[in-house]
Structure 1
Amino acid sequence: MRSYPFSAVVGMDDMALALTLSAVSPAIGGVLIRGEKGTAKSTIVRALTGLLPPVTVVTGCRFSCDPTAPDPDCPDGPHDPATPSTTRPARLVELPVGATEDRVLGALHLERALRDGVTAYEPGLLASAHRGLLYVDEVNLLHDHLVDVLLDAAAMGRATVEREGVSVAHAARFVLVGTMNPEEGELRPQLLDRFGLTVEVAASRDPAVRAEVTRRRLGYEADPDGFAARYETADAERAARIAQARRLLPEVRLDDDTLHRIAVVCASFEVDGMRADLVTARTAMAHAAWCGRTTVHGVDVRAAARLALPHRRRRDPFDPPGIEQERLDQALADAGLDRGTEPPSGSGPPQGPDPDQPDPGGPGGAPPPDDTGPAPGTPPATGSPGEVDASPDGTANGAGDSAGPEQSDRVRVPVVPHGSAAPAGSGSGAIGGSGTLAAERPYRARLLVVPGVGAGVAGRRSPAVTAVGQTIRTTPPGAGAGNRPHLVATLWAAAPHQRARGRRGAGLELRPQDVRVPIRQGREGNLILFCVDASGSMAARQRMREVKTAVLSLLLDAYQRRDKVGLVTFRGNAAELALPPTSSVDVAATRLAELPTGGRTPLAEGLLRAGAVLRVERIRDPRRRPLLVVLTDGRATAGPDALPRSRYAARLLASSSVRSVVVDCEAGRIRLGLAAELAGALGAEHLPLAHVAAGTLTGAVRLRTAVRTRSGPTPDDRSGSAPVEPGSIGSRRRRAA
């Protein structure tokens, strides 16, 4: 069955253009496609393969060396110039989220090692993707160890294997294409920056477009070959244009004036590093070649900036991605690249109309096999800076809003910069006149870990025996060990017994008792459950703003360490599960921004609800160890016997061996110390709110050390000396001396 045609897409102009430009110039660095589920992300990526020019390789080379410029360090080389060449179609290599590092990088050839007793290298997916496309669906769910492998290959253009007696390096230059749904969590900043271009996609709300998507999908399902044949001419024309643009690209010139203007645009968005300037310049040149020109115009820079800058202007993971069209227009105008410098619109890329009837979706589109597309010619709205989209039930909308009356129920959640006051009327309609207070900018939080060594999902928080990480020892298979054999250790265990076993000829004779499996030491991701006191006492003196800032900072730390997070709040007379445990930290930040305050303090109900959530998660995900973070001042004022009930709930939680941290939010000169008592009942660490920041304690120590260095030991530090109070007799005598 033929795949869905690229030219049959409805709408999706930006996505089609970004993929096309990456095919014209692989040096751009690939494309990241972000969008809600059901928006044809995977369909259009797979359809792109049929448009790529064929690849000429050295016959028999497993690493796809170019006959005109073979890799001098190719493991299958050196290649003789007289070696015949072969032309094959470009490859699309898919990297599954659950792939192993051996499958990605390659490893020792197991069959030859066991049969012949020799060390031979078997190439992995990166070798297969050389000079082609490497596609990662749900790239934001990729394990950290695989992300590290991709980062190394993308940065160096080579894959290096140093393991199990194998030392191999080979070329690995590919166009990296990733798709993701922001609701399932964000991408690591290092890998995000490696994508040259990014596109936001969203489903259209236009009934005409949705009907066209359905019509084409049903036509494809009824007759895949016949449907694809109707778009064969359009696909062939686009493929020819890509090949022509590749040949024209070396002739495209970027003059110094345009290059300076690109630098002005990138600097105006305060992007980090120089990769934004390089990618924008390369994309503008590719766009000019795609349009059949050898000179870069303002329209090329405009298209490049719109695709290359949105994911680089984010200052922290909770900032909304995207660039406002007005701000982009202003930056281009300031750089002297206004619309008056653009060539005629007829010089753009070719169109892909429906052979049967006019295409309401516009140029360059393809309907998804089971999805919808955005309104034609309308880029997804990204909102203004400092706002995060959220639906009425609090779920984040990472793809942005589309025009239409259906979007009138969206709300905007303000994110107040550090030191700014919350906007007037920012309350969420909470009961009893209570409102919301926006958090300030997050800071670097101190590391909270679960003690002991776990065996959970690989992450970056607590010590654990994981499936990936450093091999600390090998052992026979058994409880607590992995199920993948360690080949070298297995061979070493079998080698001393070959004579006794009567081995004849090449190879090794293995027995079940020879098998060894690795014990790997790494770090795991945990479940961080926040239990937040949102009562009226927390709202006093703007204390809730500091609490939200602390939680937001801990959420940022959880995002960076690949944890799951959940949010329980208590106020009034009950506790509420504001966010079930999820990997999407962005959603947690949105729910936190909407959190109202006011009312009494049902501390016992909050602890009991947290315990119930942890019990369910222990059944659902038994390998992931939890960490309960309670943010409260320790007061309990809801119902009779509120304080004894809260202590009983704390002891009940402590009996379940849940690791807990109590963040003491009590303020004022007179303090009751109730949070410290709660920490004692929970068996938890007691942490003042001011000490959540990682630099609080270290800054005090550094300051004290600097004072000692400049003025010698303080009176407190002198052996046998008591502290001297200011104004005392001893202090006056010392000043006189």
Structure 2
Amino acid sequence: MRPASASTGFPFTAVVGMEDLQLALILAAISPAIGGVLIRGEKGTAKSTAVRALTEILPPVDVVPGCRFSCDPDRPDADCPDGPHAAEGTVRPARLVELPVGATEDRVLGSLHLEKALAEGVTAYEPGLLAAAHRGLLYVDEVNLLHDHLVDVLLDAAAMGRATVERDGVSMTHPARFVLVGTMNPEEGELRPQLLDRFGLTVDVVASRDPAVRVEVMRARLGYEADPAGFIARYDGRQRELAERIVKARDLLIEVILTDAALRQIAEICASFDVDGMRADLVTARTAVAHAAWSGRTVVEVEDVRAAAKLALPHRRRRNPFDAPGLDDQQLEDAINNSTPPADPDDDPPGPGGPGGSGGSAGPSDADAAGGADDAGPAGERAGAESRDSEERDQANASADADSDGAAPVGDVVGSSAPYKARLLSVQGAGAGVAGRRSRAITEMGRVVGERARIGRESGRPHLLATLRSAAPHQQVRGRSGPGLAVRPSDVRLAVREGREGNLVLFCVDASGSMGTKKRMGEVKTAIVSLLLDAYQRRDTVGLVTFAGAAATVALPPTGSVETAVRRLESLPTGGRTPLAEGLLQAAEVLRIAAIRDPRRRPLLVLVTDGRATHGDNAFARARQSAGWLAERGIATVVVDCEPHRGVRLGLAAELAADLGAEYLDLGDVAAGNLVRTVTERKVA
């Protein structure tokens, strides 16, 4: 541990009410082979404070002097770009490297010094954040908001233990083994499944509801802010004791025995929770070994397995994207009681430290599961009346709302069926590159479609040929002699790349009594949930506006938490009159505010209604007027017609779609997947 005088952050041992979080971080520090920690929790729960405080108690690291990649002097990397190394080493404090959510790939992986490469013919490599994090901690705050291309980089590094940089035919590789620690607020969206599985342990953090604990939290924080040096000094003894205990646990790790019976118990527990793949078993075994060493034991016991399962299994139990992660304590106890208990270590143990030894890197054992089924349903014929004036329509609408034959009563909640697989929703043109996987956009990843001048010392992937073309005409003026080119910073051109972006999909849903039977409303919710599932997979932002009775309601403002949207939709009651004009205007207001907050994210409005408007005078005429107002502002819209097929159809939703300049689709095509195909093929000017 670094000297107390050098410590400036909040002490790790002063964190109050977060025992599970502290244990998970300590176990990951004892055995890096566990694979890191994901910390989920609401805002203001000191997640980042605890992570940053961890480095103060970690043992120092032996490194080769001058090596930018922190090579171990006892086992230097043979392919290290800074090698070969001398045998002598030096000691430095443990390092925590923070990866910003908005970082570029060049900043994470490192980049080549283009000017030197062109002018001097040498490969000058500038290491990135992964090199700095080698043999340390890599911390990502708001990891669920990380761009997909950076997620891919982390997945590759975590799987291989190395980072590879390839730019314009030049390749560079270096070791990159680190403990990945991420924090996230689930309200802002869940984590991509592939990256979620890479975290060995997960902890859910919530603020205590016990007033006594909250008082202790406030007292500690206020005391630290009033006198940081004095507060840190008071905890110096505890910090040293904890640091020494971690060192002892690391030394003891190799001596811990994981018996065959303990291995079988872990396998039976993981099987009882129906987790995918084998990573859960391996992580649980490594965590149990680390917990035994932390407890000062040389044999894994039931308590070690229990503690490991509580940390390693919750985030691996999700069967679909909308399942909430978690672990039922009683179910865990039942699994432990029904499993084979750990036996005496003399019963043919597999070896010290169990699988993978004490902390050596184990190879990946990925087994990604993918599934999905396309639901199908009958496609209905569209029919509508074409010779009614506005007054006749309003009268028909009112009588439809008054018709209670099979209609959903006011306040009745109808659930959805299993969602079907959605296809790609795309928007015409190229967006500004908001992180996502849906529409075309100018991004930092993807195929090269052009080049542009670099602004100042702006980072980015250079366009080699364009840079050469820019520098070539000036060689005589610059007095070039001999091989190579005289390249100046003003010559550098950056590649313009086309990739994918995320969109704002705003659902405007008719929840009035005119939506008909429970079955009909169930079909509507199933269609919306299917599109929400697609939005989850493609990293979209979603919102939900509902209208019924006398007003429209913003059920969910634009958010990245698709899970929240599904919960709000499932609990949506139906009944009452249809304030269609109010729903359209409320949707327009939501999109206006969203454009101010996030102007680069392009929206798509999905209006789900039967077209009937029954609230107020001249209701349908006002709805058409609102639709025209939306069309004038260029808001792309898809109208889903939910009018029942029994009796004479009014065809009001089709007329509304024409006023909106929107794509029209009958609800009968939704179950067959045509709604998804229509939204997929939607072209926005």
Q: Same fold (TM over 0.5)?
A: yes
Residue in structure 1 matched with residue 385 of structure 2 by the alignment: none
Q: Look up the match of 1:724.
A: none
In structure 1, what is the Cα distance between the partners aligned to 2:673 and 2:627? Answer: 30
Partners in 2 of 1:95 and 1:104 — Cα distance? 8
* Structure 1 residues 568-606: Cα deviation after superposition (integer angstroms, max 9, x where no partner): 111112222222222222332232233211011222221
Residue 110 (structure 2) aligns with: 106
State the Cα distance separating 1:41 from its structure 2 match.
0.8
1:548 alignment partner in structure 2: 525
The DSSP-based 3-state class of the residue aligned with 1:600 is coil
Distance 2:274 2:245 in 1: 35
Q: Equivalent residue for 1:583?
A: 560
CA offset at residue 325 of structure 1?
A: 0.9
Are the counterparts in 2 of residues 445 and 694 from structure 1 also a CA contact under 8 Å?
A: no
Match of 1:652 among 626, 629, 642: 629
Which residue in 1 is equivalent to 2:98? 94
Residues 224, 259 of structure 1: CA spacing in aligned structure 2 closer, same or farther, 3 A cutoff?
A: same
Structure 2 distance, partners of 1:483, 1:52, is 33
| Aligned partners of 1:7 and 1:231 also within 8 Å | yes
Structure 1 residue 679: deviation in Å?
A: 2.4
2:477 maps to what in 1? 501
Contact conserved, 1:494 with 1:508, CA < 8 A, in 2?
Answer: no
Correspondence for 2:140:
136
1:220 and 1:114 map into 2 onto residues whose CA distance is 52
Alignment match of 2:236 (pick from 232, 238, 241): 232
Letter in 1 for 2:265: R
Q: CA deviation at 1:505?
A: 6.2
Q: 1:249 aligns with which of 248, 253, 262?
A: 253
Structure 2: how far apart are the matches of 1:38 and 1:333?
37
Tell me the equivalent position of 2:496. 519
| Equivalent position of 2:79 in the other structure | 73
From 6, 10, 22, the equivalent of 2:12 is 6
Q: C-alpha deviations, 1:360-383, integer Å up to 9, x for none?
A: xxxxxxxxxxxxxxxxxxxxxxxx
Cα distance in 2 between the residues matched to 1:664 and 1:521 = 35
Tell me how far 1:284 sits from its aligned partner.
Answer: 0.6
Aligned mates of 2:669, 2:81 — CA distance in 1: 54
Q: Distance in 1 between matches of 2:609 and 2:258?
A: 59
SS in 1 for 2:43: coil
In structure 2, C-alpha distance between the alignment counterparts of 1:246 and 1:111, rounded to whole Å: 45
What is the CA RMSD across the aligned residues, in angstroms?
2.7
Query: Aligned partners of 1:89 and 1:495: how far apart in 2?
Result: 44
Unaligned ranges ≥5, structure 1: 342-417, 419-430, 700-737
Structure 2 CA distance for partners of 1:573 and 1:489, relative to 1, 3 Å: same
TM-score, length-scaled by structure 2 = 0.83
Equivalent position SS for 1:251: coil
Distance 1:693 1:171 in 2: 50
1:524-544 CA distance string (max 9 Å, x none) = 111111000101122514322
Contact (CA 8 Å) 1:137, 1:178: kept in 2 or not? Answer: yes
2:411 and 2:157 mapped to 1: Cα distance? 53
2:122 corresponds to 1:118: yes
Q: What SS does structure 1 have at the residue aligned with 2:530?
A: helix
Match of 1:612 in 2: 589
Matches within 5 A, 1:386-401: none
Deviations 1:478-511 (A, max 9, x none): 9xxx985726345312442343224246885456
User: The residue matched to 2:477 in structure 1 has which SS?
Assistant: coil
Are 1:622 and 2:599 an aligned pair?
yes
Q: Kindly tell me: are residues 13 and 513 of structure 1, through their superposed partners in 2, closer, same or farther at Cα, counting changes over 3 Å?
A: closer
Q: Does the Cα contact within 8 Å between 2:475 and 2:485 map onto a contact in 1?
A: no
Correspondent of 2:62 among 52, 56, 63: 56
Deviation, structure 1 residue 78: 3.5
CA contact (8 A) 2:636 2:662 kept: yes
Residue-by-residue CA offset, 1:232-273 (whole Å, 9 max, x unaligned): 121111111111111111221212221111111111111111
Contact 2:261 2:341 in 1 (8 A): no
* Structure 2 CA distance for aligned equivalents of residues 662 and 121 of structure 1: 53
Equivalent of residue 658 in structure 2, options 680, 704, 721: 680
Evaluate the alpha carbon distance shift between residue 573 and residue 198 of structure 1 in structure 2; reply closer, same or farther with a 3 A threshold: same
Q: Assess if the C-alpha contact under 8 Å between 2:139 and 2:182 holds in 1.
A: yes
Contact 1:262–1:301, Cα closer than 8 Å, also in 2: yes
Decide whether aligned partners of structure 1 residues 36 and 654 sit closer, same or farther in structure 2, where only a CA change above 3 A counts: same
Q: Determine the structure 2 residue equivalent to 1:15.
A: 21
Amino acid of the residue matched to residue 497 of structure 1?
Answer: P
Q: Letter of the 1:472 partner, please give it.
A: V
Hey, what's the Cα distance between the residues in 1 that align with 2:659 and 2:266? 60
Contact 2:475 2:486 in 1 (8 A): no
CA shift digits 1:425-447 (9 cap, x unpaired): xxxxxx98422223333332233
Q: Which residue of 2 aligns with 1:152?
A: 156
Kept in 2, the 8 Å contact 1:501–1:509? The answer is no
Alpha-carbon offset, residue 210 of structure 1? 1.4
Q: Please say which of residues 521-530 and 56-65 is displaced more in the overlay.
A: 56-65
- 1:618-641 Cα offsets, whole Å, 9 max, x none, are 333322111010111222232333
Q: Percent identity?
A: 67
The 4+ residue runs of structure 1 with deviation greater than 6 A are 696-699
578, 597, 618: which one aligns with 1:601: 578
| Cα distance in 1 between the residues matched to 2:25 and 2:428 | 47
Query: Aligned partners of 1:693, 1:250: CA distance in 2, in Å?
Result: 57
Do the aligned partners of 2:27 and 2:291 also contact (CA within 8 Å) in 1?
Answer: yes
SS at match of 1:3: coil
Q: Which residue of the partner structure matches residue 450 of structure 1?
A: 427
Instruction: State how many pairs are aligned.
Output: 605
Match of 1:195 among 186, 199, 214: 199
